[in-house]
Amino acid sequence: MGPTLSERLVTWQRQHGRHHLPWQNTRDPYRVWLSEIMLQQTQVSTVLGYYDRFLALWPTVADLAAASLDEVLAQWAGLGYYSRARNLHRCAQAVVSAHGGTFPRQAEVLATLPGIGRSTAAAIAGFCFDERVTILDGNVKRVLTRALNWEGDLSVTRHERWLWDAASLLVPEQGADMPAYTQGLMDLGATVCTPRKPQCLLCPWQPQCLGLQAGRAAELPVKTRKLKRSRRESWCLWIEQGGQTWVAQRPDTGVWAGLWTFPMWASEGAALRVQQALQPERVDTQPPITHVLTHLDWVLHLSRLSVPAQVDVQAVLQASQAADPVAAMEPVAAGPSPRSAEGMATLGFPAPFQRWLTGR
């Protein structure tokens, strides 16, 4: 028989897994939780800088809870999936107000908190509290479907449920092995059982892997989901007037919720009419860029305007906000307002606007 799959994985992780990521070598649930949220659908290399910055700014969950949502969003800017930042903030406040500033220890309770689903709850409970519950992230789905040579379509819900059950059966008997086991699942998927060209010769499960035996490991998992992106086109005006820049905050739902952008219009004509009303001294119209989001190709046009001091920008923008839906400015949470350079630095801008503002 030999060692079980979980025993093999635990031994392998201790010898060959990753041990020096910034969120490892701690059982502080705050640090583990913060890393797990940032790492949702996001690669390790992308998270590194953000993680250290958040910890430096907010060393404890109480510090984070005491921050404003705007501060958190500004620090999260560029990382994507901004509902994570909103839920991060809500979760910190819930931990403080409903749990006395201490994270709950059971996965089932953790999963009731904002932004913590079943997999993240299991990661926290396993890493910090030795609870015998399984994660099920992209790594585990790939590792498991290959090890079991299981060809179920992952876009089908009941297949996911089946995988949860299969993964649950594999957890180690000893709670003390849970941190290494959970990390092992992640490390195996990230470093050996990779999406393409898996390094099966290095795999601790190689003797048992049914996918490898069938010669199908590299073709799993099966996912039929086809992604069709819609297209949207917007015209942005970068309005500068006497050292100030006009910005608007996006509504608290939808794409880039709560972040800041230049005022935007859904038609070229509407933007041009506003541009004309502003009587700019200089106009710099840049080639459009296509910003790719998960479900959207967003074509963004940008004209940079220098507007004389005597022009009432506020009035022009308000009139455009109030215009009929076709000609109106795109919806904002709060009316556009001018910001100094220092003020701009405290706001969160989506990646393409960040690039424009910093000159790439």
Active site (catalytic) residues = 36
Residue 134: which residues within 8 A CB-CB, separation 6 or more? 122, 140, 164, 167, 168, 170, 171
Residue 46 phi/psi, 5-degree rounding, is -75, -35
Cβ 90 to DNA shortest distance, Å:
9
Contact 224, 153 (CB under 8 A): yes
**What whole-number distance in Å separates Cα of residue 48 and Cα of residue 43?**
9
Cβ 161 to DNA shortest distance, Å:
8
Contact 283, 275 (CB under 8 A): yes
The dihedral formed by the CA atoms of 257, 262, 265 and 269, expressed in degrees to the nearest 10: -170
Cβ 333 to DNA shortest distance, Å:
14
Cβ 295 to DNA shortest distance, Å:
5
Q: Name the residues that contact DNA, by CB under 7 A.
A: 18, 21, 23-24, 35-36, 39-46, 77-83, 87, 113-121, 123, 137-139, 142, 155-158, 183, 186, 189-190, 195-196, 223, 227, 253-257, 291-295, 350-352
3-state SS assignment for residue 230: strand
Instruction: Compare residues 257 and 357 and give the one whose CB is closer to DNA.
Output: 257
Query: CB-side exposure of 166: number of CA atoms within 13 Å?
Result: 20
